Structure 1
């Protein structure tokens, strides 16, 4: 194109002004212009061209038409017009094709770059569902640009009819990606943050994630049994997926919304039955779902909460022990033996001294009678010293064992158990019989085994 235009300008500069107009008229009539062949135009050529043009057509209209075409060509002609293709070489056509391919690649690369930026933006955000805007009067949030204007308006009208006829609060969200979270968690987070269907319990959310190629439908607990996977999987497999494979994602979304609307219209009489209202049923099912999630899916949360609650109760009880029961002021810890003997009872003091129990003693510095004795722990391993007395009920009783008479073959022995309380000074004596051994061989002496064993042992000179 540039070569042809330079040839025209060179020819126009080398010829007179009178012959330039005629030569241009000649260019229109011929298939190959002499100007494009880079040949100078003489006066005779121009005259011949003038005679030929005047003989073949009317001079007035042809001259005006030729000047108009020349003016258009000088102003610039579209590369795709038939006039622009006159005199072009194959190299120029190949350059045009290459530029088209290059522009298409640049457009596709820009789309991929925008998509990559969206994915990075969603994955860098800790709460990617907060990037989805909630419009005040719109029920469709298309962040991918998949929906056309007509289909978007049709979905809005369908949702409005569902709200009036079926009493269902529905939203449709299309996102390029859900980030590092799962589509289920992404959809549940939007459902919870937006408060869809609250407090009536009639909410529906349709989420379509482009990068993950997933469709997720979330319903309120009161109606979730009618929009579970048994409904969604056939709808996606038979309605949504074939249209997407044909290259109609916008129309596929419209048909999927229609399928959800038909399901809501058919199942509306079923979920309105029951003794409980939908709002009450929604709250009860949400509580049961939360409890089952904590117990069966993430049990460490429940056990962690119980352990934290137990530790909190213990700490609060210990803090309450430090308050004075009379003036409610903080008491100080008592550690000296003299003050502990004054504050504690004799039985408590004996238990503490003997190591049978451990007490925490608190005394109020503001009031004289403000004190508190708290049992922290008790040692039950000392079976002969820290026994509970049957009279004073303190663990200050000790046990003494003594064998008064050994058993023989003819009569039983006697064992004495003496319980003595250090606090109340009361003693109890218990006599237990030691049964004589049974004589399995009455003809033998009972000490014969000692004689036999002494004969088998060797004598030594070691003196002990």
Structure 2
């Protein structure tokens, strides 16, 4: 009579025990963190990376620290990388914003911080940007970087490589000269700018009118003045470049297009020999190579310059004109003097640590004469900021900012899942 009752109770106890121990085991493997319990890497001596569950190996952490330290040295922007097993039922985006402001990532004056938060059990990564980086790293760009650089690696469980790729991409964008100016700039006051904005627009419109009247006068003087077509071409091209420096309203785009057409006409306008007065013909790409030096041909092949060769039918007069290409990666070679010199390789000889500096080598090579040159660059050693600096705790923030710069975030950025 009592055996069935006893057996039922035994089975219930066994089921509860199995459930309890499996739950405890799962909790042990994926400890849940709160904003306050996430290890601050600035205090724990791990640089910029907080990885309490050891998802990354030491080499990956060192590489991420090296990239971020180099970025902070060159731009003052601060990046924190946090990879956690779990944050419980918390929303990753809200958690990222709270953690960012709890630590105070970025400089106080510029709010130029970035937090990369990885939550493993939710398979989610959040990119949280400070106020000062929202213009440089808009939400759409953060999302694109996550999908292109991070997700492919994470889907293969190569978490360290994914984070390295994403950090490298952010680093290249933030170190762009145009972006660097925005990083250093003080965001200032952004509230109620409507009246000041209208005043600015009116002043800007008047200055644009004055500028374009002056520019058109200069252009007409160039076109109608005396001089060689080649000289007129470069004078007009320089004038167009000045137009690019001014963000002009839409109607003035027509001026820019018109100047571009005039530049094209000046380059390909029929020419006559200065010696005989005979008409000259523009040679084709295959025909002109026999008149060009090896370095000139190389410049054309790599796209650093373009050459036009004009010749009379009799071949008694020849004119070679060089047109430099803008925005090229090549510079003038110190050996052969052609614009065929470029940085071919960057090699890290010794990674920087907290005890010693690192060393990397930049290798430069010439596409024309094969001249090579190697330059050594010292990588500053990593530094862990002291937690005893003045400032103590952020007012109203609730968290210590002494080890970071005291930056703030308003929730900018984006997230990706894998």
TM-score, normalisation: structure 1: 0.33
Greater helix share, structure number: 1
Greater strand share, structure number: 2
TM-score, normalisation: structure 2: 0.37
Query: Greater Rg, structure 1 or structure 2?
Result: 1
